[in-house]
Amino acid sequence: MAAYWLSRCIIQDPVQYKKYTDQVPGILQKHGGKVLARGGRYQVNEGPDTFNRYVVIEFPTLEAGVNCFNSPEYVAAAAFRRAGGGVVENVVVEGGEATH
């Protein structure tokens, strides 16, 4: 079942953040990820407007998304973001209706 990687981001240093984002597309592709939304227009309908960038990536399974996030390639790329490029809140959620 498809799963979705959802990220809310704050870009603190655009140059440092770009070192991260330049590497991410190839890493996602290697793990079957497909970008559905990345950095486009958005509207916060409810809640804090703390974040200024939103990303949605589809993976074939929850495990594929988690494996991508934990992969050595992604961890190395994320080091640029984590070293002052920005702050990201990330979750991978399985698609479908799980509430009964």
What order do you get walking across the sheet with 34-38 strand by strand?
34-38, 53-59, 3-11, 86-94
pLDDT in tens, 62-87: 999 999 999 999 999 999 999 999 99
CATH 3.30.70.100 fits 3-94, yes or no: yes
Please say if the pLDDT value at position 99 is more than 90.
Answer: no
Domain coordinates in residue numbering, the chain = 3-94
Its pTM stands at: 0.90
State residue 56 phi and psi, 5-degree precision: -130, 125
- Bridge partners of 31? none
36 has a pLDDT exceeding 70: yes
